[in-house]
Structure 1
Amino acid sequence: METIQIVTADQTILAAKKFTPAGEVTAVVVMPAAMGVAQSFYLPFAEFLAENGIAVLSFDYRGMGESIPVEFRDSLRGFRANLNDWAEQDYNAALHAAKAWQPAVPLLVVGHSLGGQLPGLVPDHGLIDGMLTVGSGSGYWRDNAPALKRIVWLMWYFVVPLFTRLCGYFPGKKLRMVGNLPKGVIYQWSRWCRSPYYFADKFGLRLQTAHHKMQIPILSMSFTDDELMSRRSIDSLHDYYSGAQVERRYIHPQEVDAKRIGHFGFFRPQFRHTLWQQALQWLLATPSKPPI
């Protein structure tokens, strides 16, 4: 593992990590994180892929993990970022960094939750040859998993407006909700999650995205015991990828001899011989797109 920096088009410095296989490289994976999750969470899975010939580039969005500037480590008050910055600048820069690093092999994405939502907002999504989504679905609150749906409206309509206004950012760590998020990110995400379209503009109207333009293979791995995403939310998101060849695997924990998987469990090393093998075989079989 090598720690590097990625410089975005707007000159923001992101913390990133490269995982290089010891032998021949068969593909390169960009691993964008879920909302409020640092790239360090994905380290075991990244190492597993590298052990099996796949180079991996992980990164933290601006204002997250190791990409928080020193002066904002104690508080994100005043830190400027929104989801468009994460997609158009950070995600886009990571794709270019991966392509420059490994230009001769397929460029794939393993997108956990938010990481599988954002590609339609990434300007150069055409660099992507294939994508594995893990627990990725629409965040529209009425389509959340039943247990969450009963309480999440409180977050979007009361908790987020109140505490973000008081603190100047969303203090998710103290509230044990999601994690600390910049004000612009939480306000935009809140707007999305209150909209049946999910991707909504500042007026609540459906945002015109490029998801439908992505003509790539996509494997969706989702789980029946996901505490955040329902099957309806999973399907709703992947319906946006109308031009892609989408394979949907809706997996029950018993299918992989587990009591629980949930929204975050896929990335636990206990699934090295089950879920991780499924993902690996699919990633290894995904070819580069033919040149235009």
Structure 2
Amino acid sequence: MKPIEIIEILAGDGTKLSGRRYVPDGAVHAVVLMPSAMGVKQQYYEPFAAFLCEHGFAVLSFDYRGMGDSLLPQFSKSLRGFKADISDWAELDYNAALLATKAWQPEVPLLLIGHSLGGQLAGLLPDNHLIDGMVTVASGTGYWRFNSMKTKRVVWLLWYFLVPFYTGICGYFPGKKLRKVGNLPKGVIYQWSRWCRDERYFVDERGNAMDTFHHQFQAPILSLSFTDDEMMSRKNIDGLHDYFRHAAVERRYIHPQDISSKRIGHFGFFRPEFRHNLWQQALQWLNHRASDCSNIIDSKQTI
């Protein structure tokens, strides 16, 4: 793998985002976009990105506005006054990263690894028709009544008390101090809270179903979810993927014992200890999808 390239991505409204490109030493089979989960910095995915790079995949990661390396210095101590919601993250930031990924490697298939929120927001991208295949990891809706039993016992307190109380006082959600998710902009936490309190999940401020772009997503999807996920239940996982009604979805519900492990959880997939089992599952699927797409491209060029 060549040295990691730190790049700047311009969001749809001109906001500057920080991204990282991982470049293979040899030929590029496909390019992979890796958006982050809620409150997770792009560096968290570096071991898995490097693993994919070792196997011929170019990878691009990025931080949403107000998060990680995309956080402006003046907001490093407090996000009070920072304006952004999840729709901005999806339609402006994520979509811009998608276009940047395509422009970087236009001749190869474009694949996506969506962890949690990263998989959720794929259906909100105006240009998601550019995606040739997607692997979702522990990605489902956040509707609290469908959350895993461990989370459901306490999360109602978050959505109905902690979020309105602390966000109202601080002007943003002080997740670091509360040891929950991390600091989030006011607009992000309020929108997320609204979604997580509604079974339909993707709802607007009036409680109506949002207009999304799930209908134009037709690429195959591999859903990797885990029976010991402390946040997502099977209902959450299925609820999200049912939105992609025009895509062929392969759903794998993995028990830790299936891979001789004691624990996977919501975040465990990206730990290097899983490079010989879980990572191989994702790699095999990505290789197969990249090969299928390349064959289609070659056949069209021949015609």
The answer to whether 1:15 aligns with 2:21 is no
1:115-130 alignment, distance < 5 Å: 115-130=118-133
The answer to whether 1:38 aligns with 2:41 is yes
Whether the 8 Å CA contact 1:148–1:228 is kept in 2: the answer is yes
Q: Look up the equivalent residue of 1:288 and give its one-letter code.
A: C
Whether the 8 Å CA contact 1:107–1:288 is kept in 2: the answer is no
State the alpha-carbon separation in 2 of the partners of residues 223 and 246 from structure 1: 16
User: Could you tell me the percent identity over the aligned residues?
Assistant: 65
State the alpha-carbon separation in 2 of the partners of residues 48 and 189 from structure 1: 32
The answer to whether 1:138 aligns with 2:124 is no
Alpha-carbon shift at residue 203 of structure 1 (Å):
1.0
Q: Look up the equivalent residue of 2:123 and give its one-letter code.
A: G
Greater Cα shift, 239-248 or 200-209 = 200-209
* Structure 1 counterpart of 2:266: 263
* Structure 1 counterpart of 2:186: 183
Whether the 8 Å CA contact 2:147–2:233 is kept in 1: the answer is yes
Alpha-carbon shift at residue 12 of structure 1 (Å):
0.4
* Structure 2 counterpart of 1:273: 276
Q: What TM-score do you get using the length of structure 1 for normalisation?
A: 0.98
1:84-163 alignment, distance < 5 Å: 84-163=87-166
Whether the 8 Å CA contact 2:64–2:93 is kept in 1: the answer is yes
Q: What TM-score do you get using the length of structure 2 for normalisation?
A: 0.95
* Structure 1 counterpart of 2:198: 195
Q: Look up the equivalent residue of 1:188 and give its one-letter code.
A: Q
* Structure 2 counterpart of 1:211: 214
Alpha-carbon shift at residue 75 of structure 1 (Å):
0.6
Greater Cα shift, 200-209 or 53-62 = 200-209
State the alpha-carbon separation in 1 of the partners of residues 208 and 231 from structure 2: 24
Whether the 8 Å CA contact 2:128–2:216 is kept in 1: the answer is no
Which of residues 239, 247, 255 in structure 2 aligns to 1:252? 255
What secondary structure sits across from 2:261 in the alignment?
A: coil
Which of residues 74, 78, 81 in structure 1 aligns to 2:84? 81
- The superposition leaves residues 186-213 of structure 1 with CA deviations (integer Å, 9 ceiling, x where unpaired) of 0000000000100011111222222132
Which of residues 51, 61, 67 in structure 2 aligns to 1:48? 51
Runs of at least 5 residues in structure 1 that lack an aligned partner in the other structure: none
- The superposition leaves residues 69-115 of structure 1 with CA deviations (integer Å, 9 ceiling, x where unpaired) of 01111111101100111010111111111111111111011000000
Greater Cα shift, 52-61 or 205-214 = 205-214
What secondary structure sits across from 1:5 in the alignment?
A: strand
State the alpha-carbon separation in 1 of the partners of residues 224 and 156 from structure 2: 26
Whether the 8 Å CA contact 1:141–1:193 is kept in 2: the answer is yes
Alpha-carbon shift at residue 164 of structure 1 (Å):
0.5
* Structure 2 counterpart of 1:288: 293
* Structure 2 counterpart of 1:6: 9
* Structure 2 counterpart of 1:67: 70
Runs of at least 5 residues in structure 2 that lack an aligned partner in the other structure: none
What secondary structure sits across from 1:173 in the alignment?
A: helix
Whether the 8 Å CA contact 1:6–1:15 is kept in 2: the answer is yes
State the alpha-carbon separation in 1 of the partners of residues 260 and 5 from structure 2: 34
State the alpha-carbon separation in 2 of the partners of residues 269 and 230 from structure 1: 24
Whether the 8 Å CA contact 1:108–1:129 is kept in 2: the answer is yes
Q: Look up the equivalent residue of 1:246 and give its one-letter code.
A: V
State the alpha-carbon separation in 2 of the partners of residues 288 and 74 from structure 1: 45
State the alpha-carbon separation in 2 of the partners of residues 95 and 207 from structure 1: 21
State the alpha-carbon separation in 2 of the partners of residues 284 and 264 from structure 1: 23
State the alpha-carbon separation in 2 of the partners of residues 8 and 156 from structure 1: 29
State the alpha-carbon separation in 1 of the partners of residues 38 and 76 from structure 2: 18
Whether the 8 Å CA contact 1:130–1:216 is kept in 2: the answer is yes
